[in-house]
Amino acid sequence: MSRSLRALALAGLAGVAALSAPLPAMAEVPLDQLVRIVAEGGNSFTRTFNPFSPTARWVSTRTMYEPTMIQNYATGQLDPWLATGYEWSADALSLTLTLRDDVKWSDGEAFTAADVAFTFNLMKDNPGLIGPAAGAFGQYLSAVEAVDDTTVKFTFSTTYTPGLYAIVDQFIVPEHVWKDVADPVTFENSEPVGTGPFTTIDAFGTDRYQVTKNPNYWQPLNIEGVFVQGFNGNDQVSAAVLSGNIDWGGLVPDPDTTFVALDPEHFGYWWPRTSVVMLLANTTDGALGDTTVRKAMSLALDRQRMINTGVWGKSVPGNATGLPEGPFKDWIDPAVVEAGASWVNIDPDAANKLLDDAGYARGADGIRVDKDGQPMAYDIIVPSGWNDWVSASQIVAENLADIGMDVTLRTTTADSWTNSTFTGQFDLSLGTAQRTATPFEFYRNNMATSSVQPVGTASPNNQQRYGDPAVDELLAKFAASTDAAEQKSIIAQLEGMFNEAAPAIPLYEQPDWGLYNTTRFTGFPNAENAYAPLSLQMTNGPLLVWPKLERRAE
């Protein structure tokens, strides 16, 4: 180990020792029996386990509340979970899910179809709730009903075959608890009742907490629970990982040499790329709503430099469809990619010409002014300590200065950043599109008018607030079709529209960070055993992994 790495590791030992100090409440399960993960940052945790909240604790949708099925991005399969299967009606206007009959909530109450119907109707009655199926009633659902204890029927107002993925991805909450909640949007849910593997808040502090076994979990478990530490930035995370104090998750620079080489028998990583990092420009904010401005900004950006400095060269630049090539290679139209090279490659001279020709003149100080005579000066916000995004944002600010835009990087807490971006109260930020089953969801989430929420209303999708009715029409055609060739043709048209409008600016394909240490626990997925995603940031992915983990014999 080099001197610098050894110093970093020693710092990690000290940092983790501090974070692992006794929690305010007496923990029943010792720390050495828990899987120690890197999943949240900061030191101001609130006891919020409301899965519908944008600031819920990480475990809310990764260990506590479960969906009926899980889209497995490692295998490309739709894995049964609380439901054992689904069936469409002949006219594709109703969908029936068959549920497991052996599931209980963590308080011992039976899980039934009534809970599923209740969850969807709760979201219908409370539009402020966030979840995979948010907005379904306004878009394609007309009714959800429990046929019997293990059968739930979804009736559609229009044919919408992609609705399957949002429906089965939706986490379910217990009717017997939530029916008495006065305001489910603000409800903290400090004592959660779920069907997931770990639901017991064994101990909780403002910078760490541990969650242990659901006594009624429907699958066998070989581990006791998870310990979540709040780290302040990637440097502290790297230190803890390199010192061997983390079992799963985290990020280290150049992992082949700084991590795996330290202990090749136990240390590993897997970084598939299933999404794209994008520069998000708030389209409700003056000149940022102009496609010409966004394309000029894109032409100024040095994507390869971002890749080299932020992700150690382990990525490729994004293309003009906005889609990552790996999971969507069979959907991407090469003609659109070629056409889009005119605005996703670096060319500052072309960027300046676009702005000049569009009338965005430079002021006496060299800063351009918009059509209202206001300086084109913007803040770009990213969470403090997210070094890859901080690095990319610094490059964005430098590059945009070259074309007469004054951009100031401002870092904030992860929770504050989430709130600002979800509610559309920002100028510029970075973001990644949610992993989706097909490109349909990507374009719906980033270009459909139905995904545009008013500024001030939280939404995990379309934070840039861009909507095009023509996109809605194509999405409707895709949703009504069961013909694969027709669907592929429609996606190609949507790719072309993304290329024309630049609703978001693709930067580079996002590696799905995933590190593991098998010194204490085994069974983690990797490139050789790709049964599930390794990244802890996949909303439902960790649910696939928990039952596979085993504690290594002493």
One pLDDT digit (tens) per residue for the chain, 554 residues: 333 332 333 333 344 444 444 444 457 899 999 999 999 888 889 999 999 998 899 999 999 999 999 999 888 789 999 999 999 999 889 999 999 999 999 999 999 999 999 999 999 999 999 999 998 998 899 999 999 999 999 999 999 888 999 999 999 999 999 999 999 999 999 999 999 999 999 999 999 999 999 999 999 999 999 999 998 877 888 899 999 999 999 888 889 999 999 999 999 999 988 899 999 999 999 999 999 999 999 999 999 999 999 999 999 999 999 999 888 988 999 999 999 999 999 999 999 999 999 999 999 999 999 999 999 999 999 999 888 999 999 999 999 999 999 999 999 998 899 999 999 999 999 999 877 888 998 999 999 998 999 999 998 899 999 999 999 999 999 998 878 899 999 999 999 999 999 999 999 999 888 999 999 999 999 999 999 999 998 888 999 999 999 999 86
**Which distant-in-sequence residues (6+ apart) come within 8 Å of 334 by Cβ?**
none
Task: Name all contacts of 44-48 with Cβ < 8 Å and 24+ positions apart.
Answer: 44/206, 44/207, 44/413, 44/415, 45/204, 45/205, 45/206, 45/207, 45/208, 45/209, 45/230, 46/188, 47/188, 47/190, 47/201, 47/204, 48/188, 48/189, 48/190
Q: Which strands sit side by side in the sheet containing 94-99, from one edge to the other?
A: 83-88, 94-99, 151-156, 141-148
Distance CA 393, CA 444 (A): 26
Distance CA 540, CA 532 (A): 10
Q: Which amino acid is at 365?
A: D
Measured on CA atoms in the order 475, 477, 479, 482, is the torsion positive or negative? Answer: negative
Distance CA 126, CA 124 (A): 6
Q: Are 401 and 245 in contact (CB under 8 A)?
A: no
Distance CA 216, CA 195 (A): 8
